[in-house]
Amino acid sequence: MNAIDLSVDQPIAALASPPGGSARGIVRVSGNNIRNVLAGWFEPQDIDAWNSAKSARSHAGIIRMKGETRPMEIPVQVLLWPNRRSYTGQPVIEIHMPGSPCLLEAVLNEVYRHGARPARPGEFTLRAFLAGKLDLLQAEAVLGVIDANDQAELETALSQLAGGISTKLSNLRRDLLELLADLEAGLDFIEEDIEFVSRQDVIDRLSQSRQFVDGLVRQTVERMQSRVRPQVVLAGLPNAGKSTLFNKLAGSNLALVSPERGTTRDFLTRAVNWNGLSFDLIDTAGWEADAQGIAADAQQKRISQLSRANLVIWCTSASLSDVERAFDDELLTNQQDKTSSTIRLITKSDLVPSTACETKESTTVHCDTVRISALSEAGLAEFEVALRRHLSNGHGRSSQWLGMTSARCRETLDSLANALERCERAARAPSVGDELIAVDLREALDHLGVILGVIYTDDILDRVFSKFCIGK
């Protein structure tokens, strides 16, 4: 949406089912006097029920339209929300019919001919927001649900939609408004020397709110960021050089490295920024058959980390024998069935002349393969190219909405935390009067209003709603 249209009276309409053929197609219309849009061409089976409907229900009937060659009669179900208790907070109808694209287009055109105009992207959700049905965080969460690429993203979006931090922030806003009211009541009676709230009470309430916001800044923003950071898991046989590579990419000596097989037991995670690439890198124990005791626990952790991986870096030592290499191929193929994205690294390439390596190139495994040596750093540039390609696949777009929400949250939560800190500092200074504390408190409430969408600007609305698709 380029210019945000905040008028809500004219009915808007769009296809609400996915584009292309499907068993059932839906045309959605939202606006006032909604029944007029269908007047004269929709014939409900129970006309009285249609005309007098006071609550949401489905109405069977027939739509009659002029066809190219002869009149058309289409059996439809029309879902009518006659009042404000709909998704958009205004009357809504949904026409459910067979999902033929031509038919849907014809019905949509008829709806336009009868007073509705085409909805812009996100306009249904915008109307819900303007009707107070959703706050901005929830509107963004709708976008998250539409855009979610995997279960984790969907869960985050749904929990945000169900309340999540919106509810917590709304409660905080309520608490701060009460505190402001107490302070301002005191200002009105300043001459009479009546105290509505003690200074200690003000300090305690502010301190509680500030700690809550500090915690929220840490928790939510970190959680949102870590959710969008791709999980890159190092896996392979014992002694393949996984931990050595982990240390190299993490720029640390965090992981134990030794020539002994089975050195890594627990898994190790590090947020890595390597040559501009951001991801969570996870080192795991080497693959082991029939592990017992603590080794079995290590295998369980390895499997669980692999199940969450966005990308598996499978390490295969260049010095494996032919038999070992065939076994490694088999393990890798099994792993590939479970992971969407894999890069194979032939590690320790400095130990084996490259010609010998080349003759061992696998014919059974199909995946990006790069030969590297963590020791001599040979091949790291090629590895970086492969990594960049895999991480940009599917991880850019899907995380856009989360990034957008967290960026807006971060900016404003930081300002909110600062305003509350100033407020608390003022309250702790005996020489500062209540009227100055109230000034900082109002500023804190403004920040909170921005994040919740109680205060909004065209710029924020544009940023949120321009990301939607038509029909939502």
Ligand X SMILES: Nc1nc2c(ncn2[C@@H]2O[C@H](COP(=O)(O)OP(=O)(O)OP(=O)(O)O)[C@@H](O)[C@H]2O)c(=O)[nH]1
Applying CB under 6 A, the residues found at the interface with ligand X are 238-244, 257-259, 261-264, 285-286, 347-348, 350-351, 373-375
- Token pair, residue 88, equals 């958009």
Question: What, of Mg ion, ligand X, none, does residue 375 touch, CB below 5 to 8 Å by kind?
Answer: ligand X
Q: How far apart, in whole angstroms, are the C-alpha atoms of residue 242 and residue 255?
A: 9
Cβ-based nearer residue to ligand X, 43 or 288: 288
CB-wise, 174 or 261, nearer to ligand X? 261
Q: Which does 115 bind (CB under 5 to 8 A by kind): Mg ion, ligand X, none?
A: none
Instruction: Name, in order, each residue with C-beta under 8 angstroms of 389's C-beta and a sequence gap of 6 or more.
Output: 368
Residue 123 to residue 118: CA distance in whole angstroms: 10
Nearer to ligand X, 209 or 317 (CB): 317
- Which residues on neighbouring strands pair with residue 42, listed in sequence order? 63
Give the span between the Cα atoms of 454 and 443, in whole angstroms.
14
Structural contact between residues 89 and 128, judged by C-beta atoms closer than 8 angstroms = yes
Q: How far is the CB of 364 from ligand X (least distance, A)?
A: 22
Classify residue 437 by its DSSP letter.
H
Q: Using CB distances below 5 to 8 A depending on partner kind, what does residue 430 bind out of ligand X, Mg ion, none?
A: none
Two tokens, residue 201: 């009470």
Residue placing its CB nearer to ligand X in the complex, 79 or 375: 375
Among Mg ion, ligand X, none, what does residue 238 contact (CB within 5–8 Å per kind)?
A: ligand X
Please identify, using beta-carbon distances, which residue of 245 and 423 lies nearer to ligand X.
Answer: 245
d(C-alpha 29, C-alpha 107), whole Å:
12
Task: State the nearest-atom distance from the C-beta of 463 to ligand X, in Å.
Answer: 45
Tell me how far, at minimum, the Cβ of 226 lies from ligand X, in Å: 24
With both helix axes pointing from N to C terminus, report the angle between 199-216 and 400-428 in degrees, rounded to the nearest 10.
160
Q: Which of residues 235-274 bind Mg ion (CB under 5 A)?
A: 242-243, 263-264
For residue 259, the minimal CB distance to Mg ion (Å) is 11
- 449 makes contact, choosing from Mg ion, ligand X, none, with CB < 5 to 8 Å by partner type, with none
In the region spanning residues 353 to 372, those forming contacts with Mg ion, defined by CB under 5 A, are none
CB of 357 to ligand X, least distance (A): 13
Kindly state whether residue 335 participates in binding Mg ion, applying the rule CB under 5 A: no
What character string, x for contact with Mg ion (CB under 5 A) and - otherwise, covers 32-71? ----------------------------------------
Nearer to ligand X, 212 or 267 (CB): 267
Is the Cβ–Cβ distance between 420 and 213 less than 8 Å? yes
Of 209 and 347, nearer to ligand X (C-beta) is: 347
| First and final C-alpha spacing in the chain | 13
Output the smallest distance, CB 301 to ligand X, in A: 13
In the complex, the smallest distance separating the C-beta of residue 346 from ligand X, rounded to whole angstroms, is: 10
Q: How many CA atoms lie within 13 A of 72 on its CB side?
A: 16
> What is the nearest approach in angstroms of ligand X to the Cβ of residue 360?
17
- The backbone torsions φ and ψ at residue 280, rounded to the nearest 5 degrees and listed phi first, read -95, 120
Contacts of 73 (CB under 8 A, 6+ apart): 62, 63, 64
Shortest distance, CB of residue 20 to ligand X, whole angstroms? 47
Nearer to Mg ion, 255 or 448 (CB): 255
The nearer residue to Mg ion, 22 or 263, going by C-beta atoms, is: 263
Burial of 297 (0-12, 13-18, 19+ CB in 10 A): middle
Q: Shortest approach of Mg ion to residue 179 CB, angstroms?
A: 54
Q: Are 13 and 111 in contact (CB under 8 A)?
A: yes
Rounded to the nearest 10 degrees, the angle between the axes of helix 164-188 and helix 151-161 is: 30
**What six digits make up the tokens of 220?**
């939510």
Among ligand X, Mg ion, none, partner that 31 touches (CB below 5 to 8 angstroms by kind): none
At 288 the three-state DSSP class reads: coil
The secondary structure element, H or E, covering residue 60 is strand 57-65
Partner from Mg ion, ligand X, none binding residue 414, C-beta < 5-8 Å depending on class: none
Task: Name the residue type at position 152.
Answer: A
Residue with smaller CB distance to ligand X, 228 or 250 = 250
CA nearest neighbour of 57 among 40, 72, 44: 44
Which residue is closest to ligand X by CB?
A: 286
34 binds, among ligand X, Mg ion, none (CB under 5 to 8 A by kind): none
Name the nearest CA neighbour of 81 among 128, 132, 45, 40: 128
Handedness of CA 257, 260, 266, 272 (dihedral sign): positive
Quick one: what does residue 374 bind among Mg ion, ligand X, none, with the CB cut-off 5 to 8 Å set by partner type? ligand X
Q: Which residues bind Mg ion (CB under 5 A)?
A: 242-243, 263-264
